[in-house]
Structure 1
Amino acid sequence: MQLEIDLLKKNINVLKKDPGIDQTVLKNREKAVIVDALKDRYSLPILLKLLNFLRSSYYYQKAVFRQKNKYDNICKKIVALFNKNMRCYGYRRKHGLLKREGITISEKIIRRIMQEEDLVIKTRKRKRYNSYQGEISPSVPNLIQRDFHANKPNEK
């Protein structure tokens, strides 16, 4: 019982998830974080069984955590380009600048790195076109007073 309570607390504290979430629907990365946080208090097989998490998947996730980001040097270069150009170059221009330097990389990767590093271009919102100029002249008074009443035809 205490183990389940600790699992729920780690869900809240480590993953910032709702307390009522089912642990079996968590992603493997999230499960690995929880297991790492609790493995000093509980044995690994018990935690893995309770989370419905395979031992091989746990060790795979640990290896992935230890891996160095392969785009780390490109990420630093993109941040430097972004700041050098007054924070106004988007992914297309950055792609062109990197290509000129001899670095060939996908535009999707540049967009992902920009999103991860929170490199957002500050732009003004465009004002939408509206041709309405207001009332040009005063409205014309209604001089003809007519009575528009429709009569019901006789039913036979």
Structure 2
Amino acid sequence: METDLLQWNEKLTRMNEELLKLPNIKVKQSSTPLITKINVQTFYGQGMSNIPNISVNVNWVQNGVIVAGGHAQGNGLNQLNYPYGICIDSQETMYVADFGNHRIVEWKKGATSGQVVAGGNRQGSRDDQLKNPICVVVDDETNSLIISD
């Protein structure tokens, strides 16, 4: 058990060192002897965007699988172009802010391609257009998307 903790601590230290090499990343850790959560903050110009705290009790999958995109960069329904943000609703449907394609793509659990649910009509300011969306949030109560573009 102690060996596992030492290895885990070494991996976290290496990950922290790698993140600190990037100019727009700041890593905070709690001051308790064992890290209880990790908070990664990314900086965009004058503002700051927070990635949610990740508990150490999270069960991580050893070998990940591609759940959206995975067919090279592009604008097809099975492709993404600089995906920036994701949100997963209560039905485990994933919404991807597809920055480069100016759209929000919905990926149902187990789907092999997505469906455009906002934007996708080139860059612009019309009601049916987005301009480089970076974040999407699902409001299950009102069945709506909140998009930052």
Range class of TM-score, shorter chain: under 0.3
Question: Is the radius of gyration larger for structure 1 or structure 2?
Answer: 1
Higher helix content, 1 or 2? 1
Taking structure 2 as the reference length, the TM-score comes to: 0.24
Higher strand content, 1 or 2? 2
